[in-house]
Amino acid sequence: MFGYMGKLLRVNLTEGKTNVENLDLETAKKYVGGRGLGTKLLYDEIDPKVDPLSPDNKIIFVNGPMSGTPSPTGGRYMVVTKSPLTGTIASSNSGGTWGARLKYAGYDAIIVEGKSEKPVYLAIDEDKVEIKDASDLWGEYVGETTKRLTTDKHTNVLSIGPAGEKLVKIASVMNDGDRAAGRSGVGAVMGSKNLKAIQVRGKHKVDLFDEEKVKEKNKSATQKLKDNPVTGEGLPTYGTAVLVNVINGIGAYPTRNFQTGVFEGAEETSGETLAEKYLIRREACHRCPIGCGRYSKTDRVEGGGPEYETIWAFSADCDVKDLAKVIEANHWCNELGLDTISTGATIAAAMELQEKGLLDKEDPDHELTFGNADAIVHWTKKIGHREGFGDVMAEGSYRMCEKYGHPELSMSVKKLELPAYDPRGVQGHGLTYATSNRGGCHVRGYMISPEVLGLPEKLERLELRDKPFWVKTFQDLTAFIDSTGLCLFTSFALNANDYAEIYNNIVGTDWKAEDALAAGERIYNLERQFNLEAGIGAETDTLPKRLLEEEMPEGPTKGHVHRLSELLPEYYEVRGWDEKGMPTKEKLASLGL
Amino acid sequence: MITVKLYAYLREKHGKQVDIPFEEGMKVKDIVERLGLPKEKLSLIVAGDKDGMASRMMDVPLRDDMLVHIFPPVAGG
């Protein structure tokens, strides 16, 4: 078997049993791996209506065929489960080395089911798999947990922090200390099963279909990544935060909970300032020639990050201009195991509730006003520990705003907090937010590439023409890339033909670019099907009222709203769905679903 | 006066900001040429309330007191 290890590890925490099963190769190839294979397994094994935090939900850690191979960036994995935040399918992607290590231990995926009575961790050393007591790790931060379970250089650790243990609905799963499967509250699902960590040790190799061709293609793909100014220069030097000034420059940088798109403090909190003042070194995930990761230090904390989205959530969205405090808030998100986007965005929404006088006076025990730098650190800790008003915020911005009678102040889609691009200034990108299967997300069809950065070609960001077609194509290609085990950032330099070739060399298929896109479309439709069966349909394919009705008040996007109603019918048509957003029988049949 | 803000590695030569005296009839390309910026290494340009890829922005006319942002090819996410 090439690319795949051929084995799935099933762990039943209720019974305390583990079992190794064979991977069905036909299914694996049909759904590629990672996000696709994880979706197929989850769809087949759980009732989509299940309570996400009940023992009946399952959580799947799944690799792609390129994970653990020499392919550039081949080390990513997916966490697939039903989200406690959104109720939709959750598939949360992460880098680092843990995913590749799982392959080296001999497994394509781990399926965790049931619930342990007491806190446990899973210890995998190739064929030896044990469920061990984690009483003395429960309550520990991610850094300490990782340190204690990393026994040698062939071992990698994935864990939750206190936030996941306390079922915070915006909790992340962390691996290798500071890499995050951040979104959709996947950490809370681990916590609900009393599963603190997964320690993986292994030294196997992944068999490749054509080693020579893999080597040749690696060389040319790596060269493309190095020659491309984005992946060869911009991302390595400044990290993802190089975008702060770009998105602020076009007036689409959400500020004060999306009340405007221009942030006065962009320069002080930019990637350039980060590089100048706080950057200690670059960091790279497994087999990555780009190295966009940051390691930063202030006089109070040091560690991995912050990323563009994190900087935005804690600075512009909360109107905070102090980058050192943002780095501190990021540090606590890593230690507590919190999604930085949802945490910052929930604090921002709480600040707007406070600004509008909508909170009960006795609720927050600490200043909760826009611009207060101490507040972002204070409330991050309170959310992670579910303390005081942090307990309300731990439910995410939607449930918090709903509690106070104003759900429209939650800047979220399907209850997942929106990331750092205001849809009023990037119309296609807004359509991806509205139709993403996991809710308000920027990495399910990154339309910023064509609409702002001109990659692979420039589309006018405020125009609507052809956007539904582009969104569908980006969504399908992304679903394929997410399933391979490669990093989405490679798509700044590589195209669908490159991915098909890399896949063929490793797995032994004879795919063209259109086959890769068709696999992506199949995965996208299966995710949609899961959501529909979970009771989440087209009525949730929308954006917060503010973005549809309130004109951007200033800057280069001034006067614009998001024109979703003009885009959505065409999008459904391009997707082969009916006017109610349901995939037609013909469409599903044509995709082999 | 035109205020030109430069970003990422475009700062290595000129710093963060350059002020250029405004002249009647000035276009974006006049600024790019005066600063000796490599056209092939430019990506997004924002001039006042207009923005677009550098190649399409060169003939955009400038007004006095305008703010111009010039970016090299960068991305993130």
Q: pLDDT tens string for chain A (593 positions)?
A: 999 999 999 999 999 999 999 999 999 999 999 999 999 999 999 999 999 999 999 999 999 999 999 999 999 999 999 999 999 999 999 999 999 999 999 999 999 999 999 999 999 999 999 999 999 999 999 999 999 999 999 999 999 999 999 999 999 999 999 999 999 999 999 999 999 999 999 999 999 999 999 999 999 999 999 999 999 999 999 999 999 999 999 999 999 999 999 999 999 999 999 999 999 999 999 999 999 999 999 999 999 999 999 999 999 999 999 999 999 999 999 999 999 999 999 999 999 999 999 998 777 878 899 999 999 999 999 999 999 999 999 999 999 999 999 999 999 999 999 999 999 999 999 999 999 999 999 999 999 999 999 988 899 999 999 999 999 999 999 999 999 999 999 999 999 999 999 999 999 999 999 999 999 999 999 999 999 999 999 999 999 999 999 999 999 999 999 999 999 999 999 999 999 999 999 999 999 99
Query: What are the φ/ψ torsions at residue A131 (nearest 5 degrees)?
Result: -100, 115
Domain A7-201 has CATH 3.40.50.300: no
| Contact call for residues A8 and A108 (beta carbons, < 8 A) | yes
CATH for A423-590 (3.30.70.120, 3.40.50.300, 1.10.599.10, 2.70.98.30): 1.10.599.10
| Nearest residue to A315 via CA among A409, A387, A248 | A248
User: pLDDT value at position A505?
Assistant: 98
Q: Please, how many CA atoms are within 13 Å of residue A433, restricted to the half-sphere of its CB? A: 28
- Tell if the CB–CB gap between B69 and A455 is shorter than 8 Å: no
> Helix A496-507 crosses helix A211-227 at what angle (to 10 degrees)?
150
Other Cβ atoms closer than 10 A to A436: 24
**Any bridge partners for residue A293, and if so which?**
A283
Radius of gyration of chain B (CA): 11
Q: Is B13 on the interface with A (CB under 8 A)?
A: no
Q: What is the C-alpha to C-alpha distance for residues A104 and A100, in angstroms, rounded to an integer? A: 6
Q: Is B44 on the interface with A (CB under 8 A)?
A: yes
Q: What is the C-alpha to C-alpha distance for residues A325 and A115, in angstroms, rounded to an integer? A: 37
| CB-based burial label for A555 (10 Å; 0-12, 13-18, 19+) | buried
Q: What is the C-alpha to C-alpha distance for residues A429 and A460, in angstroms, rounded to an integer? A: 12
| Contact call for residues A577 and A468 (beta carbons, < 8 A) | no
**A490, amino acid identity:** T
| Contact call for residues A447 and A441 (beta carbons, < 8 A) | no
Q: What is the C-alpha to C-alpha distance for residues A44 and A412, in angstroms, rounded to an integer? A: 29
User: pLDDT value at position A380?
Assistant: 98
| Nearest residue to A111 via CA among A68, A63, A163, A180 | A63
Element holding A63 (H helix, E strand): strand A59-63
Q: Which two tokens stand for residue A433?
A: 């937010």
Nearest CB neighbour to A272, from listed B8, B46, B75:
B8
DSSP conformation class of A255: B
Q: How many residues does chain B have?
A: 77
Judged by DSSP in three states, A79 sits in strand
Domain ranges, ordered by start, for chain A: 7-201, 239-405, 423-590
Radius of gyration of chain A (CA): 22
Strand ranges (E), A107-240? 109-113, 120-125, 128-133, 155-159, 173-175, 179-181, 195-201
Instruction: Note if the pTM is more than 0.80.
Output: yes
Instruction: Tell me which chain B residues have a C-beta less than 8 angstroms from the C-beta of A292.
Output: 76
Q: What is the C-alpha to C-alpha distance for residues A120 and A17, in angstroms, rounded to an integer? A: 13
* Residue B77 binned pLDDT confidence (cut-offs 50, 70, 90): confident
Tell me which residue has tokens 């549809």.
A548
Sort strands A195-201 and A120-125 into parallel, antiparallel or unpaired: parallel
Q: Which stretches of chain A sit within 8 Å of chain B by CB?
A: 228-230, 233-235, 237-243, 245-246, 249-250, 267, 271-272, 292, 307-309, 442-443, 446, 448-449, 452-455, 458, 460-461, 488-489, 492, 555-556, 558
| Contact call for residues A51 and A44 (beta carbons, < 8 A) | no
| Contact call for residues A41 and A60 (beta carbons, < 8 A) | yes
Q: Which two tokens stand for residue A531?
A: 């959501």
The whole-angstrom distance between A325's CA and the closest CA on chain B is 21
Note if the bond before A456 is cis, omega within 30 degrees: yes
Domains A7-201 and A423-590 share a fold: no
Q: In what order do the strands lie in the sheet with A279-283?
A: A279-283, A293-297, A302-304
User: pLDDT value at position A361?
Assistant: 73
- Tell if the CB–CB gap between A309 and B69 is shorter than 8 Å: no
Domain A239-405 has CATH 3.10.20.30: no
Q: Is B14 on the interface with A (CB under 8 A)?
A: no
Q: Which two tokens stand for residue A590?
A: 């044509």
**A351, amino acid identity:** M
User: pLDDT value at position A92?
Assistant: 98
Q: Please give the span between the terminal C-alpha atoms of chain B, in angstroms, as a whole number.
A: 34
Give all domains of chain B, ordered by start, each with its CATH number: 2-70 (3.10.20.30)
Judged by DSSP in three states, A82 sits in strand
